[in-house]
Amino acid sequence: MYWEKQLETLAHDELKKLQTERLKETLTYAARSPFYKQVFQQKGIRPELIKQPDDIRRLPYTTKQHLRENFPYGFLGAPKQELIRLHSSSGTTGNPTVIFHNRHDIASWANLMARSLYCAGVRDTDVFQNICGYGLFTGGLGFQYGIERLGCLSIPAGAGNSLRQIKLMQDYGTTVVHAIPSYLGRLYEIFQAEGLDPRKDTDLRLFVIGAEPHTEEQRQRIEEMFGVKAYNSFGLSEMNGPGVAFECTEQAGLHIWEDSYLVEILNPDTLEPVPDGEVGELVLTTLDRQAMPLIRYRTRDLTRIIPGTCACGRTHARLDRITGRSDDMFIIKGCNVFPMQIEGVLLKIPEVGADYLITLEQRNGADEMIVDVEVKKDWFNGDITRLDRLTRKITQQIRDEVLAKPIVRLVEPGSIPKSEGKAVRVKDNRTLNTVKL
């Protein structure tokens, strides 16, 4: 049932004790870094001040801006010679964010990944195809080390080239796939184009999907298309990457590994903690990282703690599906909208295909939200009244959900441009002339 029974089912009090110890250790490592050394000195922060996990509230926040300003080595809590790997974000706007790891960090991350995969039902008898970019992006190597630690046969397939992916699945009898959800609809279309049915023509049984926001509707579609169970995987590079929080086979929220991360959910405006069950910003502190500990890192991701205990017996808190980052929200015609609200509406409509794109534009001085929606291939038969009816239905349902009326355009399957990596759901052309930081 468990990868590490004792740690995964630790009683609440024991977990708090472990967190307190590890938080103190983390502060000791952090105090060696130029950034935290200065902050701690200014504020009189010492590891001995920590008596319980809640004392975290006396510590300062860390933001992406801090990471960028102290690029590249300002957060190092260990000597450079100890480092064995770095991962970094693309950094199209300014300095990239870079995270360094020593041997301990890589080993504990691999273990967390193995624990996460085991928790979702992956076993060492599985053939695991990782459809994910290898390189500076954490999804490739992060999963790779976990898959090997668990003992599956790993296929480090990399991203893209769908025909090759299908061939790998068939040649080696892949049973588990990890991929970003927005890719899987496209992959299914390639199966269809080849006259193949993944339910019959492969051994697939389990998917791990994550790295980008997606809805319950999206998960259900993936499960039906491929005849698998799909489990949600959450992480961010600043906290290693994948392996921060993962769904167990109950599919009732994502267990966040509290022996390795201290979790806070804060009201993003007041920065006061919100009660369990209420949505706020996820703020995380690493508890088991030496080379680059981060304290109270503001993820910008919005979620809530699901109250109560999980039927699987694990005691680590469960996060609800991440609805997006606070910066994903856009305002149109005075309404606050998250792209996932629109995805939720679209994917409930059976005629809707794999992809969609929201474009925000100024037309005649007014803001407009244009929603391009791919329809399913077998649905379109040239009947204009059918198209018109569907357009009106989608328009009405989006309007009911977000309160702003969109301009809906139905488009052919495959016609929405694909981005490399994570899906781009919103193009905001209103801000073209302004610099977005």
Binding site for Zn ion (CB under 5 A): 248, 250, 310, 312, 314
Asked whether position 104 contacts ligand ADP by CB under 6 A, the answer is no
By CB under 6 A, which span of 34-42, 55-63, 125-133, 205-213 interacts with ligand ADP? 205-213
| Separation between Cα atoms, residue 428 and residue 436, nearest integer Å | 11
Asked whether position 322 contacts ligand ADP by CB under 6 A, the answer is yes
Choose, by CB under 6 A, the member of 259, 301, 355, 368 that binds ligand ADP.
301
Q: Which residues contact 158 (CB under 8 A, 6 or more apart)?
A: 130, 131, 132, 133, 134, 140
The distance of closest approach from Cβ of residue 165 to ligand ADP in the complex, given in angstroms and rounded to an integer, is: 21
Q: Write the CA distances from 137 to 90, 152, 292, integer angstroms.
A: 9, 22, 17
The distance of closest approach from Cβ of residue 317 to Zn ion in the complex, given in angstroms and rounded to an integer, is: 10
Specify the residue, 6 or 434, whose C-beta has the smaller distance to Zn ion.
6
Specify the residue, 247 or 343, whose C-beta has the smaller distance to Zn ion.
247
Q: Which of ligand ADP, Zn ion, none is residue 310 near (CB under 5 to 8 Å by kind)?
A: Zn ion
Asked whether position 250 contacts ligand ADP by CB under 6 A, the answer is no
| Separation between Cα atoms, residue 187 and residue 205, nearest integer Å | 16
Residues from 6 through 35 that contact ligand ADP (CB under 6 A)? none
Choose, by CB under 6 A, the member of 36, 118, 234, 297 that binds ligand ADP.
234
Q: Which is nearest to 152 in space by CA: 183, 179, 130, 181?
A: 130
Asked whether position 112 contacts ligand ADP by CB under 6 A, the answer is no
Q: What are phi and psi of 423, to 5 degrees?
A: -65, 140
Q: Which of ligand ADP, Zn ion, none is residue 299 near (CB under 5 to 8 Å by kind)?
A: ligand ADP
Is 89 strand, coil or helix? coil
Q: Name the β-bridge partners of 334.
A: none
By CB under 6 A, which span of 148-156, 229-237, 355-363, 376-384 interacts with ligand ADP? 229-237
Q: Which is nearest to 372 in space by CA: 430, 414, 329, 326?
A: 414
Q: Which is nearest to 288 in space by CA: 8, 2, 22, 3?
A: 22
The distance of closest approach from Cβ of residue 141 to ligand ADP in the complex, given in angstroms and rounded to an integer, is: 12
Choose, by CB under 6 A, the member of 197, 212, 320, 428 that binds ligand ADP.
212
Tally of helices (H runs) and strands (E runs) in the chain: 12, 21
Specify the residue, 182 or 237, whose C-beta has the smaller distance to ligand ADP.
237
Q: Say if residue 426 is exposed, middle or buried (CB neighbours under 10 Å; 0-12, 13-18, 19+).
A: middle
Asked whether position 213 contacts ligand ADP by CB under 6 A, the answer is yes
Buried b (16+ CB within 10 A) or exposed e, 125-162: ebbbbbbbbbebbbbbbbbbbbbbbbebbbbbbebeeb
Task: Write out the residues near ligand ADP by the rule CB under 6 A.
Answer: 89, 138, 210-213, 232-237, 299, 301, 322, 325
